[in-house]
Amino acid sequence: MTQRLYIETFGCQMNERDSEIMAQLLGEHSYVQTNKPELADVVVVNTCSIRGKAAHKAYSCFGRYKKLKEKHHDFILAVTGCVAQQDGTALLERMPYIDIVMGPQSIYTLPSLVAEARRSKKPQVATELSADFVIPPFLPNLAESTPHKRFITIMQGCDNFCTYCVVPYTRGREISRSFTDILGEATHLVAQGVKEITLIGQNVNSYGKKGDAAQNKSFPELLRAVAGIDGLQRLRFTSSHPKDLSEELMRCFAEIPVLCPHFHLPVQSGSNRILERMNRKYTIEAYLDKAARLREYRPDIALTTDIIVGFPGETEEDFAATMQVVETVRYHGSYSFKYSDRPNAKAADFPDKVAEAVKSERLARLQVRQEEIALELKQAEIGKSVEVMVEGASKAPANQWSGRTGGNQIVNFSCDRKLVPGDLLMVEIESACQNSLRGKMI
């Protein structure tokens, strides 16, 4: 009998991809997805724990699903992802109505855990994190929908232990996925009509360093292999650690035509003192040098970043150094956050915490300046012709479409022709606003 599945996903692309995998696995056991949780037989909440706020969001939604359980005696509530890994059985103590608590390494066992929870009427916990974990072979099934762009997970976990970060504890040791499996998945996707692939992992540019499955291939070698698949039109990747950005990877931007001119290079702070306390393993000088060299290889490359403000011990002078990096690099975009204490992360024990009001004020100052720069960079596109990949039709008015440039900027444009997501076309940019460009098809 067909059952209904509702998945709520928080957090990064790794979680988004894991949710797709879980949906496919349950799909193979006659589950169809619904967008109405009240109709679901199984609800999966795939959680994120990166900052206190993210974890809080997850916690606050469990209560809503409790009510569903009271109405439907066979209903299963599964909590997966990084909060599940981090809190494990403690989650069950606080919320005994949860049926399954499962960490990121266990997603492939979801169907059997659901069956066991139903059969035994007992909560199931799967939060082992093994250093010998092997990402199992898995081929996406696109039978129901063929989206034009897809993520491919190329690695799991992280060994960098930045002192603010929970990921090494929630995703476990860094492990590369099999080179053959990645290439197989990419080939399969392109054969089914996928035009754009994004290779994802916590630290993709260290691909191949951990785990035999990578078959001694480096990240640049993987990029070149995937780029060589006939029919692939755009290739992207995220996220990268500046310390692992090699000259060989930079060269890829000059030599691989389908590799999009966009690099997300999280800087976190502009102060060497803070970078050291964060355990980032690079200096700001080395970072800026790499950013400049990337632009030598690919002058039109769009750089984006992540920044933490108010890390313990951050002085006004340290923060000024971060503001200076924003001026120097001129990022096309940035994700910036107030520092947040996380369980297990070393910085939670640092004594010199920055006051909340100071963090808020610095974050606001940073974001105002970053937005000005991002707008200036968009305005500089006016009059240029750019290649856009169609994402879909705008809601209104008619003949309006939306797409993305190689640099990942949103472009809204008019075109009388019927387009489909994944089409590539040239658009002349006529105006710019904070979050998007506007133009007309050439």
Of the pair 304, 405, the CB lying nearest ligand F3S is at: 304
Question: Identity (one letter) of the amino acid at 75?
Answer: F
Of the pair 11, 220, the CB lying nearest ligand F3S is at: 11
CA distances from 404 to 16, 242, 397, 423, 424 (A): 20, 25, 19, 11, 10
Provide CB contacts within 8 A for 368, sequence distance 6+.
Answer: none
Residues 336 and 51: their CA atoms lie apart, in Å, by 12
CA distances from 27 to 30, 74, 116 (A): 5, 18, 17
Which of 47, 127, 156, 202 is the binder for ligand SAH (CB under 6 A)? 202
DSSP annotation of 140 reads: -
172 binds ligand F3S (CB under 6 A): no
Per the CB < 8 A criterion, the answer to whether 67 and 97 are in contact is no
Q: What is the DSSP string of 188-235?
A: HHHHTT--EEEEE-TTGGGTTSS-GGGTT--HHHHHHHHHTSTT--EE
Residue 294 dihedral angles phi and psi, to the nearest 5°: -60, -40
160 binds ligand SF4 (CB under 6 A): yes
171 binds ligand F3S (CB under 6 A): yes
158 binds ligand SF4 (CB under 6 A): yes
Query: What is the bridge-based pairing of β-strands 385-393 and 400-405?
Result: antiparallel
Residue 113 contact among ligand SAH, ligand SF4, ligand F3S, none, beta carbon within 5 to 8 Å by kind: none
Per the CB < 8 A criterion, the answer to whether 195 and 235 are in contact is no
CA distances from 131 to 83, 158, 344, 415 (A): 19, 11, 18, 52
164 binds ligand SAH (CB under 6 A): yes
Which of 7, 23, 25, 50 is the binder for ligand F3S (CB under 6 A)? 50
Report the sign of the C-alpha dihedral through residues 51, 54, 57, 59, in that order: negative
Size of the site for ligand SAH (CB under 6 A): 17
Is residue 252 annotated as involved in ligand binding? no
165 binds ligand SF4 (CB under 6 A): yes
One symbol per residue from 275 to 314: x for binding ligand SAH (CB under 6 A), - otherwise; what is it?
-------------------------------x-x------
Residues 41-80 that bind ligand SAH (CB under 6 A): 50-51
Residues 233-272 that bind ligand SF4 (CB under 6 A): 241
Is residue 415 annotated as involved in ligand binding? no
Q: Give CA angle at 173 (167, 179), nearest 5°.
A: 110
162 binds ligand SF4 (CB under 6 A): yes
Which residue ranges are tagged as binding site? Answer: 12, 48, 82, 158, 162, 165
**List of residues contacting ligand SAH (CB under 6 A):** 50-51, 164-165, 167, 202-203, 239, 241, 266, 268, 306, 308, 337, 339-340, 342
Residues that bind ligand F3S (CB under 6 A): 11-12, 14-15, 48-50, 81-82, 166-167, 170-171
Binding site for ligand SF4 (CB under 6 A): 158, 160-162, 165, 167-168, 202-203, 241
